[in-house]
Amino acid sequence: DAGITQSPRHKVTETGTPVTLRCHQTENHRYMYWYRQDPGHGLRLIHYSYGVKDTDKGEVSDGYSVSRSKTEDFLLTLESATSSQTSVYFCATLTGRVGETQYFGPGTRLLVL
Amino acid sequence: GENVEQHPSTLSVQEGDSAVIKCTYSDSASNYFPWYKQELGKGPQLIIDIRSNVGEKKDQRIAVTLNKTAKHFSLHITETQPEDSAVYFCAASKESSGDKLTFGTGTRLAVRP
């Protein structure tokens, strides 16, 4: 499982409040990703990172920002949470070597009221 | 960009029967196709993958086939067991690895004892 932990695992918040989700990995994988999972949509990429301070947008990045100040940590921030951001959020990592695949964390279930 | 369609969305089989899940992709440059299994409350886990230079790959009761001409690939599970019950996701990438994966919408497989 590439030593991936996500915190918190569950969170309930109110519309308009900021929320930060943390992904921590212990395998020194270079690439990290944030996805959201919603019924009927599968896994959709929010943001990704190819290294420290190297991040880019995925297909559903509006309303989200990320930061990666250390190889092992990738933070996802919802600046002002909305009900449409109620979802399950998964972090994933990749070594970056050819032929490797992504490893996923256990997920964070977020409810925005 | 790449689009991956997955069918069926739900599948129910009797224990011991076979299950087949199909995915089609739109970008002929895609060359890496992983399959993930997601159990309730957990993150997706890789179960098998195939690259475009191979037509079929097998691992015990699980096999994946790839038809590059038709741009579709399939997951075959034989002799299904109750522990095979889960959501299965296909994905595609042009990067020869797990980078920049586009996921299908998932298939919920139920194996009836």
Task: Name residues of chain B where pLDDT drops below 50.
Answer: none
What the block records as the tokens of B2 is 């790449």
CA separation for the pair A45, A95 (Å, rounded)? 18
Hey, is the C-beta of A31 within 8 angstroms of any chain B C-beta?
A: yes
pLDDT for B88 equals 98
Residue B99's pLDDT is 83
Give residue A13's identity as a one-letter amino acid code. T
Please report the pLDDT score of residue A1 as a whole number.
55
* Residue A102: closest C-alpha in chain B: B98
Q: Does B96 sit within 8 Å of A98, measured CB to CB?
A: yes
Which of B1, B6, B101 lies nearest to residue A102, judging by beta carbons? Answer: B101
Q: Which residues of chain A have pLDDT under 50?
A: none
| pLDDT value for A50 | 92
